[in-house]
Amino acid sequence: GAGVSQTPSNKVTEKGKYVELRCDPISGHTALYWYRQSLGQGPEFLIYFQGTGAADDSGLPNDRFFAVRPEGSVSTLKIQRTERGDSAVYLCASSSTTGSPWAGELFFGEGSRLTVL
Amino acid sequence: AQRVTQPEKLLSVFKGAPVELKCNYSYSGSPELFWYVQYSRQRLQLLLRHISRESIKGFTADLNKGETSFHLKKPFAQEEDSAMYYCALSVNRNTGGFKTIFGAGTRLFVKA
């Protein structure tokens, strides 16, 4: 399809395990974002990529969280030594930063629901 | 620091009644503001953006820089408007692209 795709849709893991969440953005979108949404909260910014580089990773909560986008398309969010507090829906969004007027619109995936037992 | 505040977690109105979802922001620069909506079992999607001054599904939102507000309004609510609504602020970055932060959201429930 033409939308943002995220896998897996659901992931259950045990405390202390390593997890990878994948995002496939809309083709041609140079900007890619990761957000975390806990129950009853709005999306919380984690990191955004402009092309291959992380333009802003100020939202990553600690060094257990890391994200890559090696070829400027697909991105992987990696969480080491998972904790119960990491349980949330992880949202990915992409956007075109070209065009006039300034595009601005984020296109979201359906999210990956992570449950840490 | 940039911040978006939505003071109401839940707003319940009757069908046909006016709706106003409140949003206040904190940002020292020139803001770009949006409303996103999430219907049941659907992904988060853009409803409207202030820069285009458009009306979508009967909703409008006016940027008030003096009050730092971007409230979402609709004169006559419909049952299909029931959803989660998020106000969002985008900050243009010198490094290119932009960073978007979201409010906590307001759940709108329109009763028949």
Residues 6+ apart with CB under 8 A from A33: A45, A46, A47, A48, A49, A92, A93, A94, A95, A106, B100
Domains belonging to chain B, first-starting first, are: 3-111 (2.60.40.10)
Cβ-based neighbour number of residue B73 at 10 Å: 15
Query: Is A69 part of any domain?
Result: yes
Query: Is A117 part of any domain?
Result: no
Q: Do B92 and A102 touch (CB under 8 A)?
A: yes
Q: What is the pLDDT of residues B11-64, one digit of tens each?
A: 999 999 999 999 999 998 888 899 999 999 999 999 998 877 777 899 999 899
Range of the domain at A85: 5-112
Total domain count for chain A?
1
3-class secondary-structure state, position A109: coil
Q: The domain spanning residue A51 has which CATH number?
A: 2.60.40.10
B53 touches chain A (CB under 8 A): no
Query: Is A44 part of any domain?
Result: yes
The tens-digit pLDDT sequence of chain A (117 residues) is 579 999 999 999 999 999 999 999 999 888 899 999 998 899 999 999 988 888 889 999 999 999 999 998 999 999 999 999 999 999 999 988 665 445 578 999 999 999 999
Shortest Cα–Cα distance, A29 to chain B (Å) = 11
Out of A42, A93, A101, name the one closest to residue B104 (CB).
A42
Question: What is the CA B3 to chain-centroid distance, rounded?
Answer: 14
B31 touches chain A (CB under 8 A): no
Query: Is A46 part of any domain?
Result: yes
